[in-house]
Chains A and B, each alone.
Chain A
Amino acid sequence: MSSRIAHIAANTFREAVRDRVLYNLIAFALLMSGAAILVGQISIGIERLVVVNLGLTAVSLFGVVIAIFIGIGLVSKEIEKRTLYTVLSRPVRRWEFIVGKFFGLAGTLVVNTFFMAIGVFAALLYVSHGFEKADGWILVAVYFIILQFLMMTAIALLFSSFSSPLLAAVFAFSLFVIGSFAEDLRGFAAMAQGVSRWAATGAAYLVPNFSSLNVISSVAHQQGATPQLIFANSLYALVYTAMALSGAVLVFERRNLK
């Protein structure tokens, strides 16, 4: 079972690389080097802040865009090309296909993020001429960003399992935006009353909460995260990812592929 999942994951990773997904690293490198040179010239005292904010925001947005646009095609593209039938005619279960696809794209994003994080640190070194102890918190922010990618990949895969690529992209992107304002949604729920309060609270818990995973601003201000926050965020992201993947498996298991 695990070898089948690993094979599908490896193939998905290879396919993403072949699709020139990692070319985004070139754009990222250009952005970071340009920003590092520019902020060194125009910013007074906030070079470090600008580089960390810009770098981590770019890491997050590049990764989310990849997670959505690759994730939405993971299932539909296989159906369109009819390669899915070849895969499923072998002793591969549908859920193994979904899980393998997930790990393949997640692996691509982790590798991508690794290189982008090196880019952020390089730009930081250029503008600050050295590292400080507090710069270690950037690694926590990068870890949270990876957790965010896992959730987005699972969400994109869920939508990909039952809708067209275009609709899946719209749904996934909408959920990303809503998830970024999830805390405000809970704020609205707390101010509502009666049935609308219950409905809003339920919706607020159902949509992904990306707010708590976003520590970019506080890390830029050299403020860290507590071990409790790291643990709770990890638990939440992994459980939410598992929930979205379960949904994808559920839909895909019941889907008529004839």
Chain B
Amino acid sequence: MKPLGRTTCIAIALLLACFVISVFALRRLDHIRKAATVQEVLYISSPKALKWLSLGYDGLLADVYWTRAVQYFGARHFLGSHDYELLAPLLEITTGLDPHLTVAYEFGANFLAPKPPYGAGMPQQAIQLVNEGIRDNPNVWKLYYNLGFIYYTELKDYPKAADAFARGSKVPEAHPFLRIMAAQMAQHSGELQMARMMWTTAYESTTDRDIRANALAHLRALQVDEDITNLEKLISIYREKTGHLPLSFSELQTAGMLSDMPVDPLGHPYKLVPGGGVQVRDPEELPFIEKGTPPGYVPPSPKFLPSD
């Protein structure tokens, strides 16, 4: 084999050095372009035009746009943005290019409908997107579930939610919860159990990490809200019995009203505050909770969703 000459060695060293510098330069570029305040514009917003331009490779282009939608939402969510203007058109293009990419409809239902900063605050666009998904994929029960989910959580429109769940329950291999949900929607009773059932179904029926993390955070929040409601009831009963408020949870234990020290879903003990209220130790770790926060607490913009 030919020995390495001086020029070859220099070329190898230069090649490696240039590669390392190019990686740093590229990372710098990513940073600059992410921080840029240049208005984002979708120059081609028509799925039909893009389908035509894709020359038949619409599946690949759909994957590219799906990645862009997830990256767009993730980056803005991380920055705590309240503006997700491009999420709807990105998802429309994705599903326009590949109408069978059901994860895109699910993503839309979960993150297009909720109010900012947890989503784009566009429930009507989310409903339209999921309806289009149902039209193109009538045998995917998750889409009916997602539709009912939006009507229930965002619009409180129980008849339409019941209709969506009932239609979904007739789809082959539909989750058995759908039938129960349809019935409960008709009565619109048992809010907490209903919400828990819906988030559990959301968690179990997807493999998308973001959707699972979001569902888990909601399930934890529901648990906290239920725990605090129950604990405050016990404190009230204790007060009626003894004529004074307990100073700690151990007094409730001594009175035989609690078997263990109450802890939140993350394993942190609840705090008993003067006045008989109950608070979580760190509300920032439990987004979406409605109870257990200090008076005047303003939840921060979500930097991330707790991973599952």
- Within A167-219, the residues touching B (CB, 8 Å) are 181, 184, 186-188, 190-191, 205-206, 209, 212, 217-218
Q: Which of A187, A205, A228, A246 contacts B32 (CB 8 A)?
A: A228
The reply to whether B25 and A236 form a contact with Cβ atoms under 8 Å apart is yes
Shortest CB–CB separation between residue A144 and chain B, in angstroms?
12
Q: Which of A209, A223, A226 contacts B39 (CB 8 A)?
A: A223
B19 within 8 Å of A (CB atoms): yes
Contacts A236-B25, A242-B14, A247-B15: A95 and B7 contacting too (C-beta < 8 A)? yes
A254 within 8 Å of B (CB atoms): yes
Please measure, in the bound complex, the distance between the C-alpha atom of A233 and the C-alpha atom of B31, giving whole angstroms.
12
Contacts A184-B67, A209-B26: A250 and B12 contacting too (C-beta < 8 A)? yes
Q: Which of B11, B19, B26, B28 contacts A249 (CB 8 A)?
A: B11
B68 within 8 Å of A (CB atoms): yes
The reply to whether B68 and A184 form a contact with Cβ atoms under 8 Å apart is yes
Question: Interface residues of B toward A: which range?
Answer: 20 to 34
Please measure, in the bound complex, the distance between the C-alpha atom of A218 and the C-alpha atom of B23, giving whole angstroms.
25
B21 within 8 Å of A (CB atoms): yes
Q: Interface majority SS on A: helix, strand, loop or mixed?
A: helix
A77 within 8 Å of B (CB atoms): no
Shortest CB–CB separation between residue B11 and chain A, in angstroms?
4
Shortest CB–CB separation between residue B127 and chain A, in angstroms?
27
B22 within 8 Å of A (CB atoms): yes
- Within A216-238, the residues touching B (CB, 8 Å) are 217-218, 221, 223, 226, 228-229, 232-233, 235-236
Shortest CB–CB separation between residue A147 and chain B, in angstroms?
12
Greatest chain B CB density within 10 A among A190, A218, A229, A239 is at: A239
Question: Interface residues of A toward B: which range?
Answer: 35 or more
Contacts A187-B71, A217-B41: A232 and B32 contacting too (C-beta < 8 A)? yes
Q: Which of B25, B33, B41 contacts A239 (CB 8 A)?
A: B25
Q: Which residues of A contact B64 (CB under 8 A)?
A: 181, 184
Q: Which residues of B contact A93 (CB under 8 A)?
A: 7
Quick one: CB contact mask for B57-84 with A, threshold 8 Å, 1 for yes? 0000000100110110000000000000
Least CB separation from A98: chain B residue: B11
Q: Which residues of B contact A94 (CB under 8 A)?
A: 7
Quick one: CB contact mask for B6-30 with A, threshold 8 Å, 1 for yes? 0110011011001101110110111
Please measure, in the bound complex, the distance between the C-alpha atom of A219 and the C-alpha atom of B14, giving whole angstroms.
34
Residues of A within 8 A of B (CB): 93-95, 181, 184, 186-188, 190-191, 205-206, 209, 212, 217-218, 221, 223, 226, 228-229, 232-233, 235-236, 239-240, 242-243, 246-247, 249-250, 253-254
- 11 of the cross-chain contacts (CB-CB < 8 Å) are A184-B67, A186-B30, A187-B70, A209-B29, A212-B33, A217-B43, A221-B39, A236-B29, A239-B21, A243-B14, A243-B15
Q: A212-B29, A239-B22, A246-B14 are in contact. List 4 more A-B contacts (CB 8 A).
A: A205-B26, A217-B41, A229-B33, A243-B22
